[in-house]
């Protein structure tokens, strides 16, 4: 039986989204069943009109230009590419927090990048944590 992981994205900072994508890639490589929950900041980052241009660090002490040039120097893909590839290669389901969606634009998956599978409430998130082998919140 495949191990289960819940990855909750609560930040819209580019460094945190990148870390989440790297963790997600590793979990897919381990053949895990993964549920990704887009919470407040994560929901913001996955909006259709936002996702392709998120470049701001979430931590105030990071120098944006230094961070982005470091990503480029280390050949780190754009954060969204990790999520797209994981969805193509593995058993990954993306859930949009309904409240977060309403705060930013709507609770309709079509207003977010096409990775979003469904909208849910906090109960789905809590139930998924209870069933998971691993829970990571970023």
Report the distance separating Cα 119 and Cα 61, nearest Å: 33
Dihedral angle over CA of 19, 22, 24, 27, nearest 10? -130
Q: Are strands 91-97 and 116-120 parallel, antiparallel or unpaired?
A: parallel
Domain boundaries, the chain: 4-137
Output the pLDDT for position 67: 86
> pLDDT tens digits, the chain, 138 residues: what are they?
789 999 999 999 999 999 999 999 999 999 999 999 999 999 999 999 899 888 888 777 778 889 889 989 999 999 999 999 999 999 999 999 999 999 998 889 999 999 999 999 999 999 999 999 999 999
Q: Are strands 134-137 and 33-38 parallel, antiparallel or unpaired?
A: unpaired
Asked whether the whole model's pTM tops 0.85, one would answer yes
Output the pLDDT for position 54: 87
Residue partners of 111: CB distance under 8 A and separation at least 6: 47, 48, 101, 105
Q: Where are the alpha helices (DSSP H) in the chain?
A: 14-29, 40-45, 64-73, 79-89, 98-104, 122-131
> 4-137: what CATH class?
alpha beta
Output the pLDDT for position 107: 86
Output the pLDDT for position 5: 98
Output the pLDDT for position 30: 96
């Amino acid at each position: 039986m495949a191990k289960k992981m819940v990855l909750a994205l609560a930040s819209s900072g580019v460094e945190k989204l990148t870390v989440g994508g790297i963790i997600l890639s590793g979990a897919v490589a381990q053949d895990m069943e993964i549920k990704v929950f887009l919470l407040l900041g994560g929901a913001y980052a996955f909006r259709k009109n936002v996702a392709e241009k998120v470049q701001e660090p979430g931590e105030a002490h990071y120098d944006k230009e230094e961070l982005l040039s470091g990503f480029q120097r280390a050949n780190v893909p754009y954060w969204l590419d990790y999520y797209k590839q994981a969805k193509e290669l593995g058993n990954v389901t993306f859930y949009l927090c309904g409240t977060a969606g309403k705060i930013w634009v709507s609770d309709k998956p079509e207003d977010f990048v096409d990775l979003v599978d469904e909208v849910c409430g906090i109960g789905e998130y809590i139930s998924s944590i209870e069933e998971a082998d691993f829970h990571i919140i970023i």
